[in-house]
Amino acid sequence: AWDEAPINTKIIRYADVVLIAAEAAVMSGNNAKALQYINMIRKRARMCGDPGNAVPADLTGTVTLDQVKHERRVELALEGQRFFDLVRWGDAKAKLTGMVRTGDGYVIEFVPGKHEFFPIPQSEIDKSGGKLKQYEGW
């Protein structure tokens, strides 16, 4: 079964793929494509059958990277993508540092050069016969 495979399977929703394409279009200066992709996502969201649906109307004009960031944040909320988006955009330190994690006042600090990477499991380092080295800081 798929859940017993020795590899991690990454499932990507179509909306994620469309938003990746929108981001690439903005970054390459193709505003018409970026606008098309963002509006595809919004159109699908409006089709939920709820007459009181508060999904914004189609975008018009120039699409900015900030608008793509917002669309990714709301469309992919709670799907585990946000951290990777923030790292990719270089926004992680500003957005994640200072968040209070617990009631005892523990404050999270994002450390550039360390927290972009997850530590390599020690069991994998051991199996590599010395070929793998842990990331600095871990």
How would DSSP label each residue in 17-44? Answer: HHHHHHHHHHHTT-HHHHHHHHHHHHHH
Query: Any idea what DSSP says for residue 107?
Result: B
Mean pLDDT of the region 58-64: 85
Q: Give the architecture (CATH level 2) of 2-89.
A: Alpha Horseshoe (1.25)
Average pLDDT, the chain: 85
The type of residue at 61 is G
**pLDDT digit string (tens) for 1-39?**
556 777 777 788 999 999 999 999 999 999 999 999 999
Highest-scoring range by mean pLDDT, 42-51, 64-73, 89-98, 127-136: 64-73
Which of 77, 84, 72, 73 lies closest to 118, judged by CA? 84
Mean pLDDT of the region 83-101: 86
* CATH 1.25.40.900 domain locations along the chain: 2-89
Q: What pLDDT score does 112 carry?
A: 85
Q: Which DSSP string do the residues of 49-90 spell out, in sequence order?
A: S-TT--PPPPP-SPPPHHHHHHHHHHHTTTTT-HHHHHHHHT
